[in-house]
Structure 1
């Protein structure tokens, strides 16, 4: 199978990454930094993208990204080792990456930019408990490519 043309923009994300979390409310101190691994790969090559986060020493999560070629938005299926399952909307264009979900209980959004050379991604997660009326910082994330 060849890469689905609707997913071609995501090629820049394919590879192995170091994940750095900072400015979090869930780490022991506000200035604490946590590192983990992120692997981004094609499924059946090119049918979808899977992102696998974490390793033996950090929490794990799996993201599966696909897209209907008739729509510019991607759909992301998420699950993690805490038992959470979520569906996100995603856009990715001109190195700008956005992910979001809106529910009455817990709304989230992620905004990031991929460096022109594709070696880093800098982003921020925000959260809302009132369906996106008011937002608060959740955490910063930086992905740094570890493969060549």
Structure 2
């Protein structure tokens, strides 16, 4: 890559290792790490955790298996990001993504299973408070879980 697109610089704030705390009873802290790959053309996210405690909710185990890998890229026509996601279940998803003015958004619209994430970056850039929501129809949304990222 000869020259980095300026929109990619918005993601620099994510680079590095973060602890991740989902607000789910019985779950401890995990981690995620963002790093530039392919000469800065893509941002890779890798997430994992220590083994889940035996009292972790079964629904969480089934719906949030680790490790998770995501690759974030840019469509320069509209300066919109896309995240390609894969997890330990063999699930593969595509999310539209935005990151601007300290707000991180992910959205997936799939028949019968819509998802969205909104995270707010703290002024000191050391914390992201976020929430995942789900909807069967893209109209009526419910909180799936809140999550906090900390450096």
When normalised by structure 1's length, the TM-score is 0.86
Q: Which one of the candidate residues 113, 123, 126 is aligned to 1:119?
A: 126
Q: Match for residue 12 of structure 2?
A: 11
Q: Match for residue 80 of structure 1?
A: 87
Runs of 4+ aligned structure 1 residues displaced above 6 Å come to none
Return 10-19 or 32-41, whichever deviates more: 32-41
Q: Match for residue 28 of structure 1?
A: none
Larger % of strand: which?
Answer: 1
Larger % of helix: which?
Answer: 2
* Cα deviation code 1:42-93 (max 9, x no counterpart): 0123111000000452521011000022213101100000111000000100
Listed as ranges, the gaps of 5+ residues in structure 1 are 25-30
Q: Which one of the candidate residues 105, 114, 127 is aligned to 2:112?
A: 105
Whole-Å Cα distance in 2 between the matches of residues 4 and 60 of structure 1?
29
Listed as ranges, the gaps of 5+ residues in structure 2 are 53-65
Q: Which one of the candidate residues 135, 144, 147 is aligned to 2:141?
A: 135
When normalised by structure 2's length, the TM-score is 0.85
